[in-house]
Amino acid sequence: MKLETCSSARSALTAVRASLFASACTLAIAFTTAPAAAQTATASRAKAHVDALASDRTEGRLSGSPGERAASDYIIAELKRIGAKPLPGLNEFRIPFDFTAGTKDGGTTVALSCATPAPSCSPRTFSGERDVRALSFSDNTEVSGDLVFAGYGIVVPDAQDFGYDSYATLDVKDKIVLVLRYFPEDADPKAKSILTRYSGLRYKAMAARQRGAKGLIVATGPHSPNAGETIPMSFDTALAGSGVSAASISASVADAIFATLNDREKTLAAAQKGLDSANPHIAGFAIPTVRVTLKPSVLRESRQGNNVFGYLPATTRAVSTSKPWVALGAHYDHLGRGDHGNSLATKEDAGQIHHGADDNASGSAAVLAVGELLAKAPRKRNVLLQFWSGEEIGLLGSAAFVNKPNVPLDQLAAYLNFDMVGRMQDNKLILQATGTSDVWGRLVEQANVAAGFDLLLQSDPYQPTDVASFNQASVPCLNFFTGTHVDYHKPSDTADKINYEDLDRIVEFAAAIARRVIDLETVPIFTKVEQRADPGGGRAGVRVFTGTIPDYSTEVKGLLLSGVIGGGPADAAGLQKGDVVIEIGGQTIANIYDYTYVLETLKVGQGVKVVYTRNGERRETTLTPSARK
């Protein structure tokens, strides 16, 4: 599962839970009478899958690597074993797609020239990543032009009913725009919650491009986290650029630019101070004293990843059957050795194989095991078994399928996804994206009579996993998830920590739901779920790092921690797994929404009081957030 898991929201439906309680006796009888041999066979098969996929041989299954190839070889062999075939019209189980495997700066430069002769201006050229660094999505096009300072470069759409447009009074056509990183530091909480959503660098680049700018330069102001530093080149998975030349500059370069104005009232620090209240009437301004030549150099490494698809043909065909496909999927890629910025390994473990047993050998094992069960049953629909690569770097595999489907999307009755289903605790199973069809509540409740899980249903399909791709394609979908844990995105996510007994139960449960969908005469109707605004703005807006790992599988008043990241701020503050955070900096924390909302009120390097409970005892500590690079 992608790292953004820790910023996803949750919403629970309780009607099913009440119904399950009423069926307690039935559940107990169903379990005690289940065929033991069948359960053992499925469990041992799931364990064999996890052991193989999470072994040292697959080297962490990084997309486009030999380890990914080894993992796909195993999956293909298992698909053949259960009788699955390549998709109609294809001879291979592998379906390749291209992606950007990494970016680095190849020598970006920024040259300043004087628009008019003046003592305060002297031509200068800056190079070296400490002073100028291309943004990972930049076009490699040299541009020259007049310079305009456009504040934070944020444009809030009119639909938000919040008037904020950094370009409202500016003409930037055929010019180069200089903007501040992040968003107004001193905005009130309501304004900040809106502005953070539109503060991502790609969004700022798009806003500048749409207004005719030729280039974008980003400076991190002195009042912001990472003050004065250039921006690290993120692992950007887009093969193409953003349509604009873009780079970040250091405080030294920014100061040299503002110094040409020869006005003490117009410095970068003064400009930021004026903008930080988020007053929409405080505008940017032209810098007519200097012209800028930006020459970005982004080196992109292109690789090929491989999705793996197989299918089980329908064995019977009802005349009234429409949408003749039901799809099940999981991503089989992971982080390799964690070298692309998404590892949470400690310094001691850096560079080791990230085995990804739960994330997501467990989900891949579940799809293979469910497929094996469905292969032995009559089927009114074709069953499509999909294994994605590139999920960890941006849902690339599933997006490639949706953009160029090998099976028409309007023929898919439903999609069931499995992501991190191997570490169940206290019988809790999370089902996400239940809001994509009214049919899910009934089918899930029926299947759970025999399974007996303590279910947490989340209607939201906007999850950081492959259901998001299918939701965008208007396909009813469902995601199975057992929650995060302290081994998430670390080398310690190993096969010996998987709860195989409960993984077996999830396989049986999912197979029961799949059978019901396969047999439906009336297909599920897709329901569009309105996306709920993320109070914390997502990772694009969150600047602080706390090192907490929220538990999304338990309903409590507060934020229950499933763990903390070793060496992080929460660990240093003495917080640990099982603690329930109920207050941060005087702000009551009742749920995950409150927590993500309060993150943006925190300051890097400034300690804040955290009130929490441990085993029912109220405690206090001081947590000092660090900067997220």
Residue 358, CA atoms < 13 Å, CB-side half-sphere? 26
What is the tens place of the pLDDT at every residue in 61-73? 999 999 999 999 9
- Please give the share of the chain, as a percent, with pLDDT higher than 70: 87
DSSP string of 505-519, one letter each residue: HHHHHHHHHHHHHHH
For residue 595, give the H/E element and its range.
helix 592-599
CA distances in angstroms from 558 to 3, 169, 422, 444, listed in the order given: 22, 44, 25, 28
Measure the CA–CA gap between 16 and 29, rounded to whole angstroms.
19
Q: 């299947």: which residue's tokens? A: 447
Which residue in this structure is represented by tokens 């991503």? Answer: 331
Please answer whether residues 422 and 362 qualify as being in contact, where contact means their C-beta atoms are separated by less than 8 angstroms: yes
Report phi then psi at 518, rounded to 5: -60, -35
Q: What's the rounded Cα separation, in Å, for the pair 168 and 191?
A: 18
pLDDT at 153 over 70: yes
Scored b (16 or more CB within 10 A) or e, 399-414 reads bbbbeeebbebeebbb
Q: Are β-strands 109-114 and 285-295 bridged in parallel, bridged antiparallel, or unpaired?
A: antiparallel
213-244 tens-digit pLDDT: 999 999 999 999 999 999 998 766 655 567 78
Q: How far apart are CA 356 and CA 354, in angstroms?
A: 6
**Higher per-residue confidence, 119 vs 452:** 452
The full 3-state SS of 313-379, as one line of letters, equals CCCCCCCCCCCCEEEEEEECCECCCCCCCCCCCCCCCCCCCCCCHHHHHHHHHHHHHHHHHHHCCCC
| Between 589 and 609, the higher pLDDT residue | 609
pLDDT digits (tens, 9 = 90+) for 496-535: 999 999 999 999 999 999 999 999 988 899 998 876 544 3
Residue 274 has pLDDT above 90, yes or no: yes
Residue type, 372: E
Q: What structural domains and CATH numbers belong to the chain? A: 7-102+301-519 (3.40.630.10), 107-296 (3.50.30.30), 538-627 (2.30.42.10)
pLDDT at 252: 96
pLDDT in tens, 422-455: 999 999 999 999 999 999 999 999 999 999 999 9
- How confident is residue 122, by pLDDT bands cut at 50, 70 and 90? confident
How does pLDDT run across 315-358, given as a tens digit for each residue? 987 545 789 999 999 999 999 999 876 788 888 899 999 999 99
pLDDT over threshold 60, residue 362: yes
Question: Which of the four pLDDT bands, split at 50, 70 and 90, describes residue 24?
Answer: very low
pLDDT of 125: 97
pLDDT at 40 over 80: no
Q: What is the pLDDT of residue 59?
A: 97
Task: Round to whole Å and give the CA distance between 506 and 43.
Answer: 10
Phi and psi at 576, nearest 5°, equal: -155, 170
Residue 94 has what pLDDT? 98
Q: Please report the DSSP string for 224-262 in residue order.
A: STTTTPPPP------SS--SSEEEEE-HHHHHHHHHTT-
What's the one-letter identity of residue 52?
A
Cα 44 from Cα 66, distance rounded (Å): 27
Residues 6+ apart with CB under 8 A from 106: 134, 297, 298, 299
Report long-range pairs for 518-524 (Cβ below 8 Å, ≥24 apart): 518/326, 518/374, 518/379, 518/380, 518/381, 518/383, 519/380, 520/413, 520/439, 521/318, 521/320, 521/321, 523/322, 523/323, 523/413, 523/414, 524/413, 524/414, 524/437, 524/438, 524/439, 524/440, 524/476
Question: How confident is the model over 371-407, as pLDDT tens digits?
Answer: 999 999 999 999 999 999 999 988 899 989 998 999 9
Q: Cis omega (within 30 of 0) on the bond before 360?
A: yes
pLDDT the model gives residue 162 = 84
Q: If you count DSSP H runs as helices and E runs as strands, how many of each does the chain have, helices first? A: 16, 24
Instruction: Report the distance separating Cα 370 and Cα 329, nearest Å.
Output: 10
Query: CA-to-CA distance for 362 and 53, rounded, in angstroms?
Result: 9
Q: How many CB atoms lie within 10 A of CB 173?
A: 11
DSSP 526: P
**Collapsing DSSP states into helix, strand and coil, what is residue 151?**
coil
Indicate the average pLDDT of the chain: 86
How many residues belong to the chain? 629
Cβ neighbours of residue 75 under 8 Å, at least 6 residues apart?
Answer: 53, 93, 308, 332, 364, 368, 387
